[in-house]
Amino acid sequence: MMATNPILEIENLSLATSAGKSLVTNVNFSLGKGESLGLVGESGSGKSLTLRSILGLLPRGVEQVGGAIRSDVRSAMIFQDPRGALDPLCPVVRQLAEVVYYRQNVSRKASRTIALELLEMLGLPDSLKQKDRYPSQLSGGQCQRIVIAMALACKPGILLCDEPTTALDVTVQKQIIDTITRLQQELGFAMVFVTHNLAIASTMCSTLCVMKEGQIVERGESLSLLQNPQHSYTQMLIHSVLPLPELERGAGV
Amino acid sequence: MNTTLLDLQQENQGVLKRILNTPSLLVGSIMFLLLIGVAVFAPFITPFEPSEQNLYAILQPPSSEHWLGTDQLGRDLFTRLIYAARTDLKIMVLAEIIPFCTGIFLGMLAGYYGKWVDTVISLVTDTFIAFPFYLIVIIVAFASGAGQKGIYITFILVGWIVFARVTRGLSASFRKQEWVASAQTMGIPGVKIILRHLLPNVLPQAVVVLMTDMVGLLVAIVTLGYLGIGIAPPTPDWGTMISDGQSFITTAWWLSAVPGIAVVYTGIALSLVGDGLADLWRRK
For CA atoms A97, A100, A105, A110, the dihedral sign is: negative
Q: Do A81 and B114 touch (CB under 8 A)?
A: no
pTM, two decimal places: 0.80
CB contacts < 8 A (A, B): 64
Q: Which residues of chain A are modeled with pLDDT < 50?
A: 1-2, 252-253
pLDDT of res. B11: 52
Residues of chain B in contact with residue A77, where contact means CB-CB under 8 angstroms, are 182, 185
Report the chain A residue with the minimal C-alpha distance to residue B172. A60
Q: Could you give the CA distance from residue A127 to residue B120 in angstroms, rounded to a whole number?
A: 48
Domains and CATH numbers, chain B: 63-282 (1.10.3720.10)
3-state SS of A45-101?
Answer: CCHHHHHHHHHCCCCCCEEEEEEEEEECCCEEEECCCCCCCCCCCCCHHHHHHHHHH
pLDDT of res. A166: 81
Angle subtended at Cα A167 by Cα A162 and Cα A170, rounded to the nearest 5 degrees:
115
CA nearest to B73, candidates B247, B261, B222, B228: B247
Report residue A120 CA to chain centroid gap: 21
Its ipTM equals 0.77
Q: Are A111 and A97 in contact (CB under 8 A)?
A: yes
List all residues 6 or more positions away from A102 whose beta carbon is below 8 Å from its beta carbon. Answer: B186, B187, B188, B189
Q: Name the phi and psi angles at A36, rounded to 5.
A: -130, 140
Q: Do B185 and A55 touch (CB under 8 A)?
A: yes
Q: By three-state DSSP, how is residue B70 classified?
A: strand
Q: Could you give the CA distance from residue B275 to residue B17 in angstroms, rounded to a whole number?
A: 17
Q: Do B186 and A84 touch (CB under 8 A)?
A: no
Segment-wise mean pLDDT, segments of 10 residues, chain B, 284 residues: 48 71 89 92 82 76 77 82 89 92 94 90 90 85 80 87 92 87 85 90 91 91 86 84 86 87 93 90 74
Q: Name the phi and psi angles at A124, rounded to 5.
A: -85, 150
Q: Chain B interface, mutation test: which of A80, A98, A100, A126, most B Cβ atoms within 10 Å?
A: A98
Q: Chain A interface, mutation test: which of B11, B13, B175, B179, most A Cβ atoms within 10 Å?
A: B179
pLDDT of res. B32: 93
Report the chain A residue with the minimal C-alpha distance to residue B181. A57
List all residues 6 or more positions away from A234 whose beta carbon is below 8 Å from its beta carbon. Answer: A210, A217, A218, A225
